[in-house]
Amino acid sequence: MRHSAFALAIGFVALASQSSAAQAAPAGARTTPSDTTKTVPLPGAVSLPNADPYPSTYAPVPSRATLIRNVTILTAAGPTIRNGSVLLRDGKIAEVGTNVSAPADALVIDGAGKYVTPGIIDTHSHIGGGGVPGDDGTQTNDINEATAPVTAHVWVEHSVWPQDAQFPRTLAGGVTTIQVLPGSANLIGGRSVVLKVVPSRTVQGMKFPGAKYGLKMACGENPKRVYASRGPSTRMGNVAGYRAAWIQAAGYRARWDKWNANHQGDAPTRDLGLETLADVLRGNILVHNHCYRADEMAQMMDIAKEFGYKIRSFHHGVEAYKIADMLSRDSIAASVWADWGAFKLEATDAVRGNMAILNRAGVRTVMHSDDASGEQRLNQEAAKAMAEGNRIGVPVTEDEAIKWMTINAAWALGLEDRTGSIQTGKNADVVLWSGNPFSVYSRAEKVWVDGAMLYDRLDPSSQWRTDFELGFVPANRGGVR
């Protein structure tokens, strides 16, 4: 299987170069299936010739060079830069430091008293797939294909409604990249999709070019509750369900790898679900595993070893602090909340010190939301968790806490070379905050995605309104003052 082997060997570089090619191509231009056999494989499923059937059509919004000067910069890549400047040009961060001069054509923004951070990244979103309004009959909840415990065949992008009014609110919270995941009703819920938080007529126009897909898996109470009558109805039933799926996937992968090696005879019959699972085994799709309890996470880690895949991130992980050493050892990110819990028994050991304890152990700690309201305030959630660490004697600095919602999240999505920090060459996904982002009084004032200012709190008439909002939702122009 030449293509997948190449993708595995070259890893991120191949994917990155592929995606820039995709970006350069005119919208709608598609390689034919026969062409792809001669080119670098696209990310995603490679069990079959056309591996990227729903390619990103995202193109950055045209932008002008912008210099934000005289500002405090939390870079997520090193120490805070005070009285710093950052230059955004051609969609990238062109320069950052204390002595950056503005090109003649640049828009210059004075950031006195304000802060710059990387665009916030949420590894756990359902917006677009679970849209609003959510009243009975709106049919906007398309997150859980709760018809079978293993639904690896569904792709959540096919549920995403770009006119969900939650998108512009998330952007206004400084969030520039999100992973939309299927829900947790199923043992294996399907493929995730990584989106840029940008206005678009189509989900394809929001897809982060070159981002790997994720696979949603779920432990514990949710699947066993949902399938109580038909099974799995127990935690041991859950585990048997994962194992059966991976056994099938391994066989499927072997059949396709063999056929791909020489294309002799008829191609094996395609199976959408096994196609996805086979690509997890090949390392092309990242596993995002909803799991609350420490003991269950440890079991999921053994299952991953049994079948030779990696868990990229546990999600929710309210007990992750109990196994911080194990997560660190196996390089598994922990996407967690600041202080949610108590809503079910497997969530009752949630502590606010979770993130601080994980952080100290060297775990890639990620502030996630799983909630459209919380997604708008990941900075506040991180501030809570940082404060708790400092209270209990597990100190956390602002330079560490900023990573929880930027570069660590980017790593969990396999995008750490593209976004998530203020460093030269990175995508210009940047937020200007009215003050310290860890203060309750600060708000995202301006938000850039790939160098384009897509949100400006000070200019309400420029703000993104979805089609749904027109007429239905009051414009709220002018605020209180």
Binding-site ranges for other proteins (CB under 8 A): 132-136, 165-166, 169, 221, 321-322, 324-325, 337, 339-345, 348-353, 357, 361, 370-374, 376-377, 380, 383-384, 386-387, 390-394, 438-443, 469, 472-474, 476, 479-481
Minimum gap (Å) between residue 411 Cβ and other proteins: 23
Measure the CA–CA gap between 397 and 25, rounded to whole angstroms. 43
Smallest distance, other proteins to C-beta of residue 436, A: 9
Work out how close the CB of 317 gets to other proteins at its nearest, in angstroms, rounded to a whole number. Answer: 13
Least distance (Å) between residue 461 CB and other proteins = 17
Which is closer to other proteins, CB of 214 or CB of 220? 220
Of 213, 108, 225, the closest CA to residue 152 belongs to: 213
Query: What is the closest distance, in whole angstroms, from the C-beta atom of residue 410 to other proteins in the complex?
Result: 24
User: What are the CA-CA distances from residue 376 to residues 121, 140, 407, 418, 434 (Å)?
Assistant: 11, 20, 18, 22, 15
> Shortest approach of other proteins to residue 27 CB, angstroms?
30
The minimum distance between CB 48 and other proteins, in angstroms, equals 39
Q: Which is nearer to other proteins, 13 or 475 (CB)?
A: 475
Cα–Cα dist 8/253, whole Å: 15
**What is the closest distance, in whole angstroms, from the C-beta atom of residue 287 to other proteins in the complex?**
24
Q: What angle do CA 29, 35, 36 make, to 5 degrees?
A: 90
Min dist CB 371 to other proteins, Å, is 4
**Calpha distance 425→345 (Å, rounded):** 46
> Minimum Å distance from CB 236 to other proteins?
20
Closer residue to other proteins in complex, CB, 77/386: 386
Of the pair 4, 359, the CB lying nearest other proteins is at 359
Tokens 């990238």 correspond to what residue?
Answer: 92
Residue closer to other proteins by CB (options 249, 361) is: 361
**121 CB contacts (<8 Å, ≥6 apart)?**
175, 176, 177, 178, 405, 406, 409, 410, 413, 415, 419, 420
CA triple 109-112-113, angle to 5 deg: 135
Q: Where are the alpha helices (DSSP H) in 81-155?
A: none
Q: How far apart are CA 444 and CA 173, in angstroms?
A: 6
Residue 241 amino acid letter:
G
- Cα–Cα distance list, 453 to 104, 171, 198, 396, 422 (Å): 19, 11, 11, 31, 16
Distance between CA atoms of 97 and 101, rounded to whole angstroms? 10
Query: The tokens of 313 are what?
Result: 């991130």
CA 71 vs. chain centroid, Å, equals: 28
The closest of 28, 52, 50, 25 to 38, measured between CA atoms, is 50
Residue 456 CB contacts under 8 Å (≥ 6 apart), including other chains = 445, 446, 462, 463
Residue 39 or 462: the one with the smaller Cβ distance to other proteins is 462
Q: Which residue has the tokens 């992968």?
A: 253
Q: In the numeric block, which tokens belong to residue 201?
A: 């007529």
Residue 114's identity, in one-letter code, is K
Q: How far is the CB of 51 from other proteins (least distance, A)?
A: 36
- Neighbour tally for 194: CB within 10 Å: 26
Nearer to other proteins, 383 or 422 (CB): 383
